[in-house]
Structure 1
Amino acid sequence: MVPYLPSEEPLFFVVAAAAVLAIGISKSGFSGGIGVLAVPLMAVFISPLAAAAIMLPILCVMDALSIWAYRRHWHRRNLLLLLPGAFVGLAAGALTFRYVDEAMIRLVLGLLTLGFGLHAFAAAGDRAEARPGRAATGIVCGALSGFTSFVAHAGGPPAKFFLLRQHLDKTVFVGTNVVFFFLINQAKVLPYAWLGQFSPDNLMASLLLAPLAPLGIWLGLRLHRHVPQDIFYRISYLLMILAGTKLLLDGGLALLF
C-alpha cells in the first residue's frame, strides 16, 4: 500500500488539504506565494516528485476556476513578453529534469526572491507610477519562471519580480499571473506524463484533494475584493519574502546535508 492513502497516512491528507486551501486562497487572492510551501509540506510524508505530481492536476483545476474570474483583467503586453521565454524554460526543464541540481536552483532563486521582496516591502510606501516592463527583463523572467516551475515547482517568484515592479492595478496583476500560470501548468502536463509522474495512486490522491480547490479559490476572490490596493501590495511582498526564505532554506539545507 502506498504511504499516502487515507488508511495508511491520514495525517498526510490533513496537511495536504490545508496546503490546497492555502494555495487556492493565495492564487486567486494575491497571485500566489504560498505555492512553494505545498510540495515541501507534503514531502514530509511522500517523495517530492510524487507531491509535485499530485499537485499539478489540482493546480490545473484552480487555474481553470481563476481564469474565469479574471477573464477580463489581464495585461496583454506582459503576457507576450513572459510567455516565449517561459515555454523555452519549460522545454529546458523537461530535457534536463533528471540532471539539474534542484538544491542550487532553489538557493539562487531564494536569494533573488528574498532580496527583491525585502527591498520592495521597505519601499512600498513610496511607490512610483506604473510603467511598462522592459522586453528583455520579461523574456528572462519568463524563461526563469518556466524552468524553475518545471524542475523546482517554484515558478512564481521570477514572474512576480517582473510584474510587481510595474505596480499594476491589483486585479490586473493577479489576472495576468493567473493567465500566465494557466498556460504554464497546462504545458507541463504532457512532459510530466512523459516522465512517468502520473501514477494511478498519485492521480487518486489528486482526485481526493481536488474538491477543496474551488473553496480555496472562492475564499481568495472574496479577500481580493475587500483588501485595499496598498495593503494588497504589502501582502504580495510579504508572500515573496516568505517564498524566498523557504526556497533559501530548502536549497541551503539540501546542499549542506
Structure 2
Amino acid sequence: MLSFTLPDPIFFAAAIPAVALVGLSKGGLGGAFALMGVPLLALVVTPVDAAAIFLPILIAMDLVALYAWRHFNDRKLLLMLLPGCLIGIGLGWATSAYVPDDALRFVIAMSMILFALRYFLETYGPRRTQPPAPSKHKRGPALFWGTLCGYGSFVAHAGGPPFQIYALPLRLDPKRYTGASVRLFAIVNAVKVIPYVALGALDSRNLTTSLTLLPIAFLSTLAGAWIIRRLKPEVFYPLAYGLGLLAALKLLYDSLPI
C-alpha cells in the first residue's frame, strides 16, 4: 500500500476521479458511481483511511445536493425508509466486528441483480408487456430494505442498492425520487459521524486530506444534479436500473474471494 504526503500526484490521480464519481452519484446520477469511489481511493491508501476520508466529503456533497434539490422531495418515501435506516446504522455499529463485510456485499449484490434483471426482462424481453403499475408503500418491506440500507451504508458503503430496490418500483417523478434520496442519505451520513469518531477514524490527517478534495466534490455534485434535472422518466428509469445493476456487479466482485 502506498503512503502519501500532500500534495502527492499519485494520490490525487486516484482521489480526484474517485471523488468526482461519488459527486455525480450524490447529484442524482446513480449508486454505481458511488460504489466505485472508495475502492478507487483504496488503491493509494488503506480501505479504512479511504472510508474516513470520504465521510466528510460525503457530508459536504450532501449539503450541496440538499441545496440543489431543495424544491423536490417525496416526504412519504423519506419517512417510510428513515426508521429502518437508523436501525441499520445502530446494528452496523454494534455488529460490524462480527459480520463479514463480504457476506453483506454478496446478499445486497444478488438482490439488486435479480431485481434489475426482472425489470429489464419485463420491459424489453420477448414477453414484455406494458410497464408494471407503480407499487404502493408497505411498512414491512420499507423497514426491511431501510434497515439493510442503513446497515450496508455503515459497514460496506453500500446503502444505494437497498434504497433502489424499495424506491424504484414506486415510479415516482425522477425529481421527487432524487430529492428524497438526497435527504435520506444526508441524514444517514450525518448520523454515521458519531460511530466513526468513536472508532477513531476521523483524525486530523484524514480531515486535512478531505478538505483538499472539496472543490472536486462540489463541482461534480452540481454536475450530477444538472444532468438528472434534464432526464425524462422514460430515460431516467432504465438508466437508474442499469446503474443499479452495475453497482450490484461491482459489489458482487468485491464480495468474491479472488
Length-normalised TM-score, structure 1? 0.93
Q: Tell me what 1:153 maps to.
A: 157
Contact 2:14/2:43 (<8 A) preserved: no
Corresponding letter in the other structure for 2:39: P
What RMSD in Å do the two structures reach over aligned CA positions? 1.6
| 2:3 paired with 1:3 | yes
Query: Which of 222, 226, 242 is the equivalent residue of 1:222?
Result: 226
Question: Structure 1 runs of 4+ off > 6 angstroms?
Answer: none
Pairs within 5 Å for 1:76-95:
76-95=75-94
Corresponding letter in the other structure for 2:68: A
| 2:235 paired with 1:231 | yes
Helix, strand or coil: the match of 2:172? Answer: coil
Give the superposition deviation at 1:41.
1.0
Q: Within 1, Cα distance between the matches of 2:123 and 2:181?
A: 20
Q: Within 1, Cα distance between the matches of 2:53 and 2:119?
A: 33
Pairs within 5 Å for 1:50-65:
50-65=49-64
Q: Tell me what 2:24 maps to.
A: 25
Deviates more, 1:30-39 or 1:141-150: 30-39
Give the superposition deviation at 1:48.
1.0
5+ long unaligned stretches in structure 2: 125-129
Q: Within 1, Cα distance between the matches of 2:203 and 2:33?
A: 26
Give the superposition deviation at 1:210.
1.1
Corresponding letter in the other structure for 2:158: A
Q: Within 2, Cα distance between the matches of 1:89 and 1:13?
A: 33
Helix, strand or coil: the match of 2:181? Answer: helix
Deviations 1:94-115 (A, max 9, x none): 1122222011111111111122
Pairs within 5 Å for 1:107-122:
107-122=106-121
| 2:139 paired with 1:135 | yes
Q: Tell me what 1:211 maps to.
A: 215
Give the superposition deviation at 1:245.
0.3
Residues paired across the two proteins, number: 252
Contact 2:174/2:236 (<8 A) preserved: yes
Q: Within 2, Cα distance between the matches of 1:216 and 1:3?
A: 26
Helix, strand or coil: the match of 2:103? Answer: helix
Helix, strand or coil: the match of 2:170? Answer: coil
Q: Within 1, Cα distance between the matches of 2:120 and 2:144?
A: 23
Q: Tell me what 1:243 maps to.
A: 247
Corresponding letter in the other structure for 1:197: A
Q: Within 2, Cα distance between the matches of 1:210 and 1:174?
A: 22
Length-normalised TM-score, structure 2? 0.92
Q: Tell me what 1:67 maps to.
A: 66
Helix, strand or coil: the match of 1:165? Answer: helix
5+ long unaligned stretches in structure 1: none
Q: Within 2, Cα distance between the matches of 1:39 and 1:121?
A: 28
